[in-house]
Amino acid sequence: MPTTRPTKAWEVMMRGNARFVAGEPRHPRQDIERRESLAHVQKPDVVLFGCSDSRLAAEIIFDKGLGDLFVVRNAGQVISDSVIGSIEYAVGVLEVPLIVVLGHDECGAVRAAIDSIAPEAESVSPYIDGLIQQIVPAVRRVSGGNGHDPASVDASEVGREHLRDTVAELLERSELVSDAVARGVLGIVGANYKLHEGTAVADIIVGNISPADITTDSAAK
């Protein structure tokens, strides 16, 4: 049965981000009472799947507290079995109504993926390469398939394409997630975080999130 929970969860995220952007964070739910009340149970409202970049500190940039966010992060926010398993746990067991996939500008993983297409690209470790290769399809699309010059590739555009790929792959590979979206109990927002301004701007919205209630620029409110 469809609910308003996905929309409400995103609205709360945007309000928290707006406080952070304005330099007026409340640092909610970080006290002793909150800590103790969560000792035996958690009921987060949001899965935050984002890049590991140290500047994307999840609870800080959305002005959240203990027990609010179920956080999954890796470099370049790339899908893996463990990422899907973690997200499915949050959606299936904890009944979280919203997944926010968060990319950002000036992403080192995106940069590395762009640099990797150059003929004289330096080799990296197999594990780092495994992350980068998942971003390379976005690089090839943006560069038109003939991009041998990394300097000519628009990194912001690659970041956006990769974000969209990531949301699509999550829906494609996880039946649990796509079923929850189809039932109206789960929404997904793919957003880009701007390091300088601190704003998280929605780029893709999937599922039961009412567009009428959504502004795609949280700094506007």
What's the closest the beta carbon of residue 59 comes to Zn ion, in angstroms? 18
**Quick one: DSSP state of residue 151?**
G
What's the closest the beta carbon of residue 109 comes to Zn ion, in angstroms? 5
Residue for token digits 């990394």?
150
What's the closest the beta carbon of residue 185 comes to Zn ion, in angstroms? 30
Residue 63 in contact with Zn ion, rule: CB under 5 A: no
Asked if residue 83 lies in contact with residue 72, where contact means CB atoms within 8 angstroms, the answer is yes
Asked if residue 45 lies in contact with residue 98, where contact means CB atoms within 8 angstroms, the answer is yes
Q: Collapse the DSSP code of 69 into the 3-class scheme (helix H, G, I; strand E, B; otherwise coil) and give the result.
A: strand
- Residue 132 CA to residue 70 CA, distance in Å, equals 25
Of the residues 18, 47, 51, 139, which one makes contact with Zn ion according to CB under 5 A:
51
What's the closest the beta carbon of residue 38 comes to Zn ion, in angstroms? 29
In the 3-class helix/strand/coil scheme, how is 168-209 assigned residue by residue? HHHHHHCHHHHHHHHCCCCEEEEEEECCCCCCEEEEEEEECC
Q: Which stretch binds Zn ion (CB under 5 A): 8-16, 44-52, 141-149, 175-183?
A: 44-52
Residue 11 in contact with Zn ion, rule: CB under 5 A: no
Residue 68 in contact with Zn ion, rule: CB under 5 A: no
- Residue 39 CA to residue 46 CA, distance in Å, equals 19
What's the closest the beta carbon of residue 52 comes to Zn ion, in angstroms? 7
Contacts of 48 (CB under 8 A, 6+ apart): 58, 62, 69, 70, 71, 72, 73, 100, 102
Residue 53 in contact with Zn ion, rule: CB under 5 A: yes
What's the closest the beta carbon of residue 208 comes to Zn ion, in angstroms? 28
Q: Which stretch binds Zn ion (CB under 5 A): 14-22, 60-68, 105-113, 150-158?
A: 105-113
Q: Which is nearer to Zn ion, 30 or 74 (CB)?
A: 74
Residue 107 in contact with Zn ion, rule: CB under 5 A: yes
Q: Which is nearer to Zn ion, 143 or 192 (CB)?
A: 192
Chain residues in the site for Zn ion (CB under 5 A)? 51, 53, 107
